[in-house]
Structure 1
Amino acid sequence: MNDIYGRNLDLNLLRVFVVVAEAGSVTAAAERLYLTQPAVSAALRRLASTVGAPLFVRAGRGLALTTRGERLLASARPHLGALVEATLSPVTFDPKTSERTVRLGLSDVTEAWLLPPLLRILAQEAPRMRLVVLPVQFRTVVEALNGSAVDLAVTVADELPAGTRRLELFNGGFVCLFDPRHARVGKRLTLERYLEHEHIIVSYNGDLRGVIEDHFDVQRRVRVSVPSFQSIGALVEGGALLATVPGMVARDILRLRPHLRTTPVPLPLQGTPLELLWRGAVEDDEAIRFIRERVVQVTKDLWHDA
């Protein structure tokens, strides 16, 4: 390919050549191409010089192809037609037959509740499409999107580069998760009692600071810091530890561990919107748009039922 691109051939000359061959004269071709006759004649001379052989001969008032010209026309016309078709024809996407693989970035908060219903939808509507799921969170999502490691992502996010599209899915806030058989929180969990308890926190930095420490001038009694929400239910169950988690995470945990309970966090903690993110460059990609729409559908269905 480098050798092809390196040759001194203006592909527009081939377009002029094909139109002249079809029209049979420079004058008629110039009218079709919206060019002057001298411009068309100059293009033909340049092409003949590049080919190294004459492509037309005079035939009465018009032009006739030489043998070399006939061979060039036979080869060039179908390729030019294909290029025009590829340029002007809209891309067709049929989810029933598409075999596209879409790379989806999910935070650990979203994978458990989003992926199962999304896969059920794909099984019905796009049985050949596949997903590659990669972990992302608010500190890594920009790099993942900019480097095309993922086509779209579902996570919380801060500032994003220009050209990044974002759509808020929901904002469910936070709750305090506990095991009532061991943790004594009372009818209403007060801040004093909240701070007296030991806590499990999720820290993406690998330290003892969680969402409460990041937003308020307090330090909880942290017993364990974990890198994701996946083990929170198991760690809370059977002990007196408290865990401050997003409401959607708590809902999924309670489905598996119905004897656990939640209570409001005794601090004015505002939830962070969970967003669907993608690059503007893939805005018109029908396969990615299909997955985006299904993610929104799943979120609306689950949030309506919450």
Structure 2
Amino acid sequence: MQETTINHARLAEIDLNLLVALDAISSCGSVTKAAGKLRINQSSLSHQLGRLRELFGDELFVRNGAGMSPTPRGAVIAKTASEILRHIDRDLLNVIAFSPSETTRVFKLGIPDYLESVLVPPLARFCLGAAPHARLELHSLEHQKATDMLDRGEIDVAVGNVSEGGVVHKRKVLFDDNYVCLHSLALLEKVRSITFETYFELPHVAVDLKERACRLVDDTLEQKKLGRKIVVSTPHAHALPELLESLAAIATVPRLFGRSAAKAHGLAVSPLPFQVAPFQISVVWHASSHMDPGMIWFRGAIADVARSLP
């Protein structure tokens, strides 16, 4: 279907206030009541009704006892005007004046599996308290696909180890993270500490994610001609705690995830016995939403929650 071209010159002749007046008269059924609703005097509203009649070539409303009833054409025009004003009120003015407590927006967040368990619970609590009618929609994120997902509008914001992006992308660093060893408390009964030697002697459970941050350890070891003895690999970070509870093995994980999993599942965290460069966790968004008040609020909420993480 061919899209109808907008006649901007003709629309420029219409005063939006006339549509407001038309809708008020239609909903009140009286010029007097409509004038009170609009907080203007009756003569001003009568003048606007005269302009409307001239514009549309129809009486629009006729007297019916103490009130006014729409003509057949007036009823059609009033219905259309009401729909236009509702769209302006809901879709345009809500963008200009964003209210977290009233918004019903859906905020689409792209986030990798391991960060979801750390960042999302406090973020969801914050959003539920500040924006109870909004919805937080989560999308699985791989760092190399983050900007494509933003470009396609699949997500509003990406959080992760995302550093690259084009001129149409904005980025803000949230925090630096590094690595720790996650394991059961019982493991320390077999080895007193995770030393360089025991790290390579012990079996490993690996999180086989495409997220770049989770590849840094193996990339570092590969450069040193070293490798881990991996007995289980999983694409799901949330599967690690139960695996480690049942195996005398260790997992090398980002520090924030390790601390969170240890606290929630009664596991232990030990320092990594060799140096790996830290990595940055950033929030990334498309430039088209940079000045959107709702997105500014949402990005601010993410940053506030990130600052509160232990």
* TM-score, reference length from structure 2: 0.69
State the Cα RMSD in Å.
Answer: 3.3
Which of 240, 244, 256 in structure 1 is aligned with 2:252? 244
Rate the CA distance shift 1:89–1:236 in 2: closer, same or farther, 3 A: closer
| 1:271 pairs with 2:273 | no
CA offset digits 1:195-253 (Å, max 9, x no partner): 111111111259xx954222232211110111121111111113211100011111111
Rate the CA distance shift 1:92–1:186 in 2: closer, same or farther, 3 A: same
- Matched AA of 2:115: T
Which of 146, 157, 174 in structure 2 is aligned with 1:169? 174
| 1:225 pairs with 2:233 | yes
Q: For the Cα contact (< 8 Å) 1:201–1:210, is it kept in 2?
A: no
Rate the CA distance shift 1:182–1:190 in 2: closer, same or farther, 3 A: closer
Which of 296, 306, 309 in structure 2 is aligned with 1:289? 296
Displacement of 1:193 = 1.8
Q: For the Cα contact (< 8 Å) 1:182–1:238, is it kept in 2?
A: no
Q: Distance in 1 between matches of 2:93 and 2:10?
A: 20
SS of the equivalent of 2:219 reads helix
CA offset digits 1:49-87 (Å, max 9, x no partner): xxxxxxxxxxxxxxxxxx9x9436999xx9xxx8x9999
Displacement of 1:89 = 11
Q: Distance in 1 between matches of 2:234 and 2:204?
A: 11
Displacement of 1:257 = 2.3
> Where in structure 2 are the equivalents of 1:95-110 lying within 5 Å?
95-110=100-115
Which of 76, 83, 98 in structure 2 is aligned with 1:93? 98
Displacement of 1:99 = 0.8
- Matched AA of 2:55: R
Q: For the Cα contact (< 8 Å) 1:154–1:277, is it kept in 2?
A: yes
- Matched AA of 1:91: I
Q: For the Cα contact (< 8 Å) 1:181–1:238, is it kept in 2?
A: no
Counterpart in 1 of 2:192? Answer: 186
> Where in structure 2 are the equivalents of 1:1-306 lying within 5 Å?
2=2, 4-5=4-5, 11-12=8-9, 15=12, 70-71=54-55, 91-182=96-187, 184-187=190-193, 189-204=194-209, 210-217=215-222, 218-258=226-266, 260-302=267-309, 306=310
Name stretches of at least 5 consecutive residues in structure 1 with no aligned partner: 20-66
Rate the CA distance shift 1:140–1:11 in 2: closer, same or farther, 3 A: closer
Rate the CA distance shift 1:269–1:18 in 2: closer, same or farther, 3 A: closer
Q: For the Cα contact (< 8 Å) 2:171–2:282, is it kept in 1?
A: yes
Q: For the Cα contact (< 8 Å) 2:187–2:248, is it kept in 1?
A: yes
Give the total of aligned pairs. 244
Rate the CA distance shift 1:89–1:103 in 2: closer, same or farther, 3 A: closer
Displacement of 1:261 = 1.7
Displacement of 1:91 = 0.9
CA offset digits 1:141-183 (Å, max 9, x no partner): 1221121100001111142222211111111210011224235
- Matched AA of 2:145: T
Rate the CA distance shift 1:232–1:108 in 2: closer, same or farther, 3 A: same
- Matched AA of 1:277: V
Displacement of 1:285 = 1.4
Q: For the Cα contact (< 8 Å) 1:114–1:298, is it kept in 2?
A: yes
Rate the CA distance shift 1:10–1:257 in 2: closer, same or farther, 3 A: closer
- Rg larger in structure: 1
Displacement of 1:190 = 2.6
Name stretches of at least 5 consecutive residues in structure 2 with no aligned partner: 16-50, 59-76
% same residue: 24
SS of the equivalent of 2:144 reads coil
Q: Distance in 2 between matches of 1:275 and 1:121?
A: 19
Q: For the Cα contact (< 8 Å) 1:202–1:210, is it kept in 2?
A: no
Rate the CA distance shift 1:236–1:279 in 2: closer, same or farther, 3 A: same
Displacement of 1:4 = 3.1
Decide which moves more: 196-205 or 168-177: 196-205
Q: Distance in 2 between matches of 1:182 and 1:247?
A: 19
Rate the CA distance shift 1:244–1:128 in 2: closer, same or farther, 3 A: same
Q: For the Cα contact (< 8 Å) 1:101–1:130, is it kept in 2?
A: yes
Q: For the Cα contact (< 8 Å) 1:185–1:194, is it kept in 2?
A: no
Q: Distance in 2 between matches of 1:277 and 1:238?
A: 38
